[in-house]
Amino acid sequence: MRLIESLKNKKFLLFNIFFTLYIGINLIGGERGLISYFDKKNTYEKLLEEEKVLTSELKNLDHKISLINKNDPDYLDILYRQKFKYVTEDEIIIKLK
């Protein structure tokens, strides 16, 4: 009985304690909390790295396509030799692997 009466007298204090706990738990572990923030930050950094890699690959492919479109004899010769493993009679092949 005394416990119930003391709780009635300290409602405001209990409300503040629970409200503070609620805010603290959601600040750290909620879907918009600190843990979620760092997870999203790591994901963002990984995506930026992936974007840099894909951008460099795209530039490389654009350069190769432009060489093919210009009919660059050196690049076409390289492609021909790689794809068909073509060698002339006076060349020496050294296999490295």
Same domain, 81 and 94: yes
Same domain, 10 and 24: yes
Q: Would you state the pLDDT for residue 44?
A: 98
Q: Would you state the pLDDT for residue 57?
A: 98
Same domain, 78 and 54: yes
What pLDDT, in 10s, does the model give residues 22-54? 988 888 887 888 888 999 999 999 999 999 999
What pLDDT, in 10s, does the model give residues 55-78? 999 999 999 999 999 988 888 888
Whether the predicted pLDDT of 18 surpasses 80: yes
Counted domains in the chain:
2
Burial 42-76 (b: 16+ CB within 10 A, else e): eeeeeeeeeeeeeeeeeeeeeeeeebeeeeeeeee
